[in-house]
């Protein structure tokens, strides 16, 4: 029987280093050429000798900043339940914010029409 990994161990593995264009491209699920272009455009990578390196956490944070939404690339050790909760929380917060903005705008329009 396979032993379950703890959340601490899963979190530690998620910060693992990715070395080389092929590993980074494999993690992101994109061709090497696309990943190299993204690196030129600001994707976080470091040169270490003849290799480039980064971590899964750095890539997830960068993807989130670029998309404007929380992003996390799922791996074998990803806690999918926690990621689902995080995604639902994000959508709920944005929906509430948009509803409040819409209500405020509608109220201003009604005031203008009544004057």
Identify which of 47-61, 70-84, 86-100 has the greatest average pLDDT. 47-61
Report pLDDT digits (tens) over 18-34: 999 999 999 888 899 99
C-alpha dihedral (28, 34, 35, 40), degrees to nearest 10: -150
What global pTM score does this model have? Answer: 0.52
Spatial contact of 27 and 59, defined as CB atoms under 8 Å apart: yes
Nearest to 83 by CA among 72, 93, 94: 72
Q: How many residues does the chain have?
A: 115
Whole-number Å distance between alpha carbons of 91 and 89: 6
For tokens 């003849």, the residue is: 50
**Sequence spans of domains, the chain:** 15-75, 79-115
Q: How far is CA 70 from the centre of its chain?
A: 5
Question: How much is the pLDDT for 23?
Answer: 94
Tokens read off for 77: 């050790």
Question: Does the domain spanning 15-75 belong to CATH 1.20.140?
Answer: no
């Amino acid at each position: 029987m396979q032993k379950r990994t703890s959340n601490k161990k899963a979190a530690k593995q998620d910060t693992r280093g990715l070395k080389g264009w092929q590993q980074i491209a494999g993690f992101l699920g994109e061709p090497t050429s696309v990943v190299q272009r993204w690196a030129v455009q600001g994707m976080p990578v470091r040169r270490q000798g003849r290799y480039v390196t980064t971590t899964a956490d750095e890539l997830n944070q960068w993807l989130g900043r670029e998309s404007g939404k929380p992003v996390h690339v799922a791996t074998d050790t990803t806690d999918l339940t926690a990621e689902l909760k995080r995604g639902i929380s994000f959508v709920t917060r944005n929906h509430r914010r948009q509803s409040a903005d819409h209500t405020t705008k509608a109220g201003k329009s009604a005031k203008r029409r009544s004057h």
